[in-house]
Amino acid sequence: MGLGYPQNGNPNPLGGVFREDYLRVSKLMTRMWISFVNYGDPNQHLGVDAQVWPAYTLDDPQNFVFEQNVTSHPEADIYRAEGIHYIENFILARAGGTCSGLVACGASDVD
């Protein structure tokens, strides 16, 4: 089974004690994805009560988290922000140079 899936002996991924929760999340996820494909907006789905999936912006980046045991919701997109910031700084510092690290490239912000 997938990571995080309870090993309850039921080979049906939508079965077991959490069956209704899994079906609810599956229905929401499917409707939101189909809505996005059809309308360019995941919030145009019909018949499912859900929080609004906000448009992704660089000023306020947010992902939408589908969860089976709580209400699905938007959350700040900060996954690996520190590592991504480091790589961005390295690329910018290295542009046009042949250095091998942030300090060697002359970057002032190495946090």
pLDDT tens digit sequence for 29-80: 999 999 999 999 999 987 777 889 999 998 899 999 998 878 889 999 988 8
Q: Is the model more confident about 99 or about 68?
A: 68
Q: What is the mean pLDDT of the chain?
A: 80
Task: Specify the pLDDT at position 52.
Answer: 92
Buried b (16+ CB within 10 A) or exposed e, 21-48: ebeebeebbebbeebeeeeeebeebeee
Task: Specify the pLDDT at position 6.
Answer: 62
What global pTM score does this model have? 0.61
* pLDDT for residue 2 is more than 80: no
pLDDT digits (tens, 9 = 90+) for 3-37: 665 666 666 666 677 788 888 888 899 999 999 99
23 backbone dihedrals φ, ψ, rounded to 5°: -65, -40
